[in-house]
Amino acid sequence: MPVQDYNDQKLWQRRTGRESLFHWVLWLTGVAIFAYCWQQISDATTWFFVWDAPRIANDIWTRATPPKWEYFTQLGKPIWDTLNIATLGTIIALVLAVPVAFAAARNTTPSRFLVRPIALLIIVATRSINSLIWALLLIAIIGPGVFAGVVAIAIRSIGFCAKLLYEAIEEIDETQVEAITATGASRWQIMAYGIVPQILPAFAGIAVFRWDINIRESTVLGLVGAGGIGLQLSSSLNVLAWPQVSLILLVILLAVVISEWVSAKVRGAII
Amino acid sequence: MLRLEKLVKTYKTGDQALKAVDLEIPEGQVLALIGPSGAGKSTLIRCINRLVEPTSGKVYLAGTELTGLSAGALRKERRRMGMIFQEYALVERLTVMENVLSGRLGYVGFWRSFLRKFPQSDVDEAFRLLDRVGLAHMADKRADELSGGQRQRVGICRALIQNPALLLVDEPTASLDPKTSRQIMRLICELCKERGLAAIINIHDVALAQMFVQRVIGLRFGAVEFDGPPDGLTPDVLTTIYGEEDWEATIEKVDDEEIDDTIEAAQ
């Protein structure tokens, strides 16, 4: 009881004595766990390599600079592949995510006990596995190359897009839907007039946001052989061609900055 | 025209919103439904077009029984019942024209409505209605750019373009200022008279109801407590509907001429 009577005055405190003790113990336990973990990690670390790190980093830096600018001519195609993987993957993911989102949203699902759990399972399953792992699996199934990358990006993005979209669907203003229903509109007309206009800004935002993420994800897909600029990166790393590596990193940085700029512009225009 | 027989609505929570309501509304009668919050006014009008499914009882609209209809048949009957909402319930991101034309969805197939290819007769009617409520110049504006009174006028157009026989009106003035409230009530009642429509108007403002309607129903705890002309709303009656309060000061006759003047000035 935070209010106490004391000399005819009512004293108010945020917590009772017992509560503040409990909080104090909680904090103490937290700090103790942190200290213990720190100790464990420290014991498991070979500190020699860590102390050595600045020298090695400096060594790689001198090997990697200046970047091998003439290598740039060979990067045009891979970076174009990377862009295509991201864009196509996003489009495919969006097409597949829309029905999943409508099936998963409480207010639009055809059946709460059958369809909705399946839709939620699709969302969780596709979201929980990283696109790099999807790519590894898909390369084994459909062989290495850009197509595997596109499919990996698409699968990984379904859950992400569907989840954000179904949350947007659940947050719509139901009275607008009610008003359209009251006109005698059919199920699909209610969707087209009552729901779609309300979620369109969210949809556009999700699409651009995911495209932006996918550009970044697709740059590494080549590391496992799924096409794009990551392929060049891994082969350059394998032969210790550090000037090439530094140029590739610069190109990736440039691509990401441009995609960031584009998505910011698009989002600003739509919302 | 509309007849309710022993209409009951019990919500899943066990709340009995309507207790065997019987009601008959003749052709062209405008009726106000008053009562305290939670009396079941909204539930009553939503049970008529089955936005809320009644638990038991019958609803007859011009001889057709509505509570037993299949989904398809219900959609056909809903076209005969225009609905106007408290918070306007326009689709905010669509234009005024699209909102008005959405009243025709029950008559137009999916692809035509999806591609916004409404029949020219519908478009003509939409322009006529917008002109009638003084919003013809707003047809291309997005609904969220309009003021409250303007939005409610669009809502009225959307209900009327359905070519209904009955208007279900849920608190049309609750979000509007007193002057706009009077203008909107006047517009609804005028349009009902022009087109010979019956209407059920849920309303909190008793004085406003008295000014415009021919008949008042008082609802309390889901049961009809009063059914009579607006003059019959004495302080005693209001006490049985709403509970104890000093009613003398609040049910004074509003000066009609003064309101006519303000409306003319506004136009």
Q: Are strands B198-202 and B166-170 parallel, antiparallel or unpaired?
A: parallel
- The answer to whether the beta carbons of residues A156 and A126 sit under 8 Å apart is yes
**What pLDDT shows up at residue B199?**
93
Domain count, chain A: 2
Q: Answer whether A175 sits within 8 Å of B83, measured CB to CB.
A: no
Buried b (16+ CB within 10 A) or exposed e, B48-86: bbbbbebeebebebeeeebbebeeeeebebbbbbbbbbb
Mean of pLDDT values over A110-128: 91
Is the minimum CB–CB distance between B93 and chain A shorter than 8 Å? yes
Strand partners, B202: B33, B170
**What are the two backbone dihedrals, phi and then psi, of residue A90, each rounded to the nearest 5 degrees?**
-65, -45
Q: Do A193 and B113 touch (CB under 8 A)?
A: yes
**A247 in the same domain as A141:** yes
Taking CB atoms and an 8 Å limit, are B105 and A193 in contact across chains?
yes
Among A9-23, A163-177, B32-46, B162-176, the range scoring the smallest mean pLDDT is A9-23
For residues A252-263, one letter each, b for 16 or more C-beta atoms within 10 angstroms of the residue's C-beta and e for the rest, the string is beebeeebeeeb
Same domain, A22 and A100: no
State how far residue B220 is from chain A, nearest Cα, in angstroms: 25
Same domain, A241 and A140: yes
| Cβ-based contacts of A179 with chain B (< 8 Å) | 83, 85, 89-91, 155, 158
CA-based radius of gyration for chain A: 27
Contact at CB, A183 and B102, closer than 8 angstroms: yes
Q: Summarize the confidence of residues A84-97 as an average pLDDT.
A: 94
Q: What pLDDT, on the 0 to 100 scale, is given for residue B125? A: 93
- Secondary structure E strands in B147-262: 166-170, 198-202, 215-220, 223-228
Is B252 a residue whose pLDDT tops 70? no
Using 50, 70 and 90 to split pLDDT, how confident is the model at B251? low
> Which of B43, B77, B86, B91 to substitute to test the interface with A, most A CBs within 10 Å?
B91
A172, part of any domain: yes
Q: Does the beta-carbon distance from A180 to B94 stay under 8 Å?
A: no
B253 interfacial to chain A (CB closer than 8 Å): no
For residue A136, being part of any structural domain is answered with: yes
Cβ neighbours of residue A185 under 8 Å, at least 6 residues apart?
Answer: A193, A194, B75, B102, B105, B106, B113
Q: What is the pLDDT of residue A162?
A: 95
Tell me, yes or no, if B90 comes closer than 8 A to chain A by beta carbon.
Answer: yes
Question: Are A88 and A135 found together in one domain?
Answer: yes
A59 domain-assigned? no
**Is B102 an 8 Å CB contact of chain A?**
yes
Task: Tell me the percentage of chain B whose pLDDT exceeds 90.
Answer: 53
Counting beta carbons within 10 angstroms of the beta carbon of residue A145, is it exposed (0 to 12), middle (13 to 18) or buried (19 or more)? middle
CATH number at A100 reads: 1.10.3720.10
Confidence bin at B153 (pLDDT 50/70/90): very high
CB contact under 8 A, B110 and A188: yes
pLDDT reading at B256 higher than 80: no
Query: Between chains, do A183 and B106 touch, taking CB under 8 Å as contact?
Result: yes
The reply to whether A85 and A202 lie within a common domain is yes
Asked, for residue A46, whether it belongs to a domain, the answer is no
What is the model's pLDDT at position A180?
94
Query: What's the confidence (pLDDT) of residue A131?
Result: 85
Contact A179 B89 (CB under 8 A): yes
Mean pLDDT of A232-251: 88
- Percentage of chain B modeled with pLDDT above 70: 93
Q: Is the Cβ pair A198, B93 closer than 8 Å? A: yes
At A226, the pLDDT band (50, 70, 90 cuts) reads: confident
Whole-number pLDDT of residue A1: 55
pLDDT tens sequence across B183-227: 999 999 999 999 999 999 999 888 888 888 989 999 988 889 889
3-state DSSP assignment of residue B26? coil
A69 domain-assigned: no
From A181, which residue of chain B is nearest by alpha-carbon distance?
A: B51
Mind listing the pLDDT tens digit for each residue in B102-124? 999 999 999 999 999 999 999 99
pLDDT value of residue A268: 81
How distant is the Cα of B161 from the closest Cα of chain A, in angstroms?
A: 10
Among B75, B81, B90, B107, which would you mutate to test the A interface (most chain A Cβ atoms within 10 Å of its Cβ)? Answer: B75
What is the model's pLDDT at position B236? 84
Please list every residue in chain A whose beta carbon sits closer than 8 Å to the beta carbon of residue B168.
182
Q: Is residue A167 part of a domain?
A: yes
Is A117 within a domain? yes
B234: confidence class by pLDDT, cuts 50, 70, 90: confident
Same domain, A25 and A94: no
Interval A17-67: pLDDT, tens: 888 899 999 999 999 999 999 999 988 888 888 888 899 899 888 888 888
The answer to whether residues A118 and A20 belong to one domain is: no
Longest dimension (CA), chain B: 57
- In this structure, the answer to whether residues A130 and A180 fall within a common structural domain is yes
Kindly determine whether residue A175 and residue B114, on different chains, have CB atoms separated by under 8 Å: no
- What percent of chain A is modeled with pLDDT above 70? 99
**At B251, is the secondary structure helix, strand, or coil?**
coil
Q: Do B89 and A178 touch (CB under 8 A)?
A: yes
Q: What chain A residue is nearest to B72 in terms of C-alpha separation?
A: A186
Contacts of B82 in chain A (CB under 8 A): 182
What is the mean predicted confidence (pLDDT) over A208-212? Answer: 90
Please name the member of B51, B75, B89 whose beta carbon is closest to the beta carbon of A186: B75
Q: Is B206 on the interface with A (CB under 8 A)?
A: no
pTM of the model: 0.80
* Residue A70 CB-density burial (10 A; 0-12 exposed, 13-18 middle, 19+ buried): exposed
Q: Do A189 and B110 touch (CB under 8 A)?
A: yes
A98: pLDDT confidence band, cut at 50, 70 and 90?
very high
Cβ under 8 Å to B: A residues 147-176? 173, 175-176
User: For B166-189, what is each residue's pLDDT tens digit?
Assistant: 999 999 988 888 889 999 999 999
**Could you tell me if A36 and A102 lie in one domain?**
no
Alpha-carbon distance B45 to B66, whole Å? 13
Residues A10 and A86 in one domain: no
Query: Do A20 and A85 have their domain in common?
Result: no
Average pLDDT, chain A: 89
A186 interfaces chain B, CB cutoff of 8 Å = yes
For A8, list phi and psi in degrees, rounded to 5: 65, 10
| Structural domain for A148, as ranges | 79-270
Residue A96 φ/ψ, nearest 5 degrees: -80, -30
The tokens describing A97, both together, are: 């995510």
For the ranges A110-124, A232-246, B230-244, the maximum mean pLDDT occurs at A110-124
> What band does B267 get if pLDDT is binned at 50, 70 and 90?
very low
> What is the pLDDT of chain B when averaged over all its residues?
87
Does B78 contact A189 at a Cβ distance shorter than 8 Å? no
B104 touches chain A (CB under 8 A): yes
- How big is the A-B interface in CB pairs under 8 Å? 82
Model confidence at B257: pLDDT above 60: no
pLDDT at B254: 47
Look at residue A64 and tell me if it is in a domain. Answer: no
Residue contact B89–A189, C-beta within 8 A: no
pLDDT at B162: 93
First to last CA, chain A: 48
Model ipTM? Answer: 0.87
Q: Verify that A87 and A220 share a domain, yes or no.
A: yes
Which pLDDT score is estimated for A122?
A: 93
